[in-house]
Amino acid sequence: MTGYRTALSAIVPYLWRRHTDNIVVFGAGKQALWHLRFALSLRGDEIKTITVVNRSAERAQQLISRLKEENQARWKSTANFEYLGSSSSEYDAQLQYRLAVADAIFCTVGTKSPVFPAHYVTNGRKERNPYISAVGSWQADMLEVDPELLIQAISAAGGKLRGQGSKVAVLVDDRETALQHSGEIIQSKLAAEYIVEIGEIEISRKQG
pLDDT in tens, 50-102: 999 999 999 999 999 999 999 999 999 999 999 999 998 999 999 999 999 99
The pairing of beta strand 104-107 with beta strand 49-53: unpaired
Q: Which domain holds residue 40?
A: 1-102
Would 177 be classed as within a structural domain?
Answer: no
**181 falls within a domain:** no
In a domain, 158, yes or no: no
Q: In the prediction, which pLDDT does 5 show?
A: 86
Total structural domains within the chain: 1
Asked whether residue 62 is assigned to any structural domain, the reply reads: yes
Whole-number Å distance between alpha carbons of 166 and 27:
32
Q: What is the pTM of this model?
A: 0.91
Share of the chain above pLDDT 90, in %: 70
186 belongs to a structural domain:
no
Whether 9 is in a domain gets the answer: yes
Residue 44, domain member (yes or no): yes
Q: How far is CA 170 from the centre of its chain?
A: 12
* Structural domain includes residue 152: no
Q: Which helix (H) or strand (E) holds 3?
A: helix 2-14
CATH number at residue 50: 3.40.50.720
Residue (of 115, 114, 7) closest to 52 by Cα position: 115
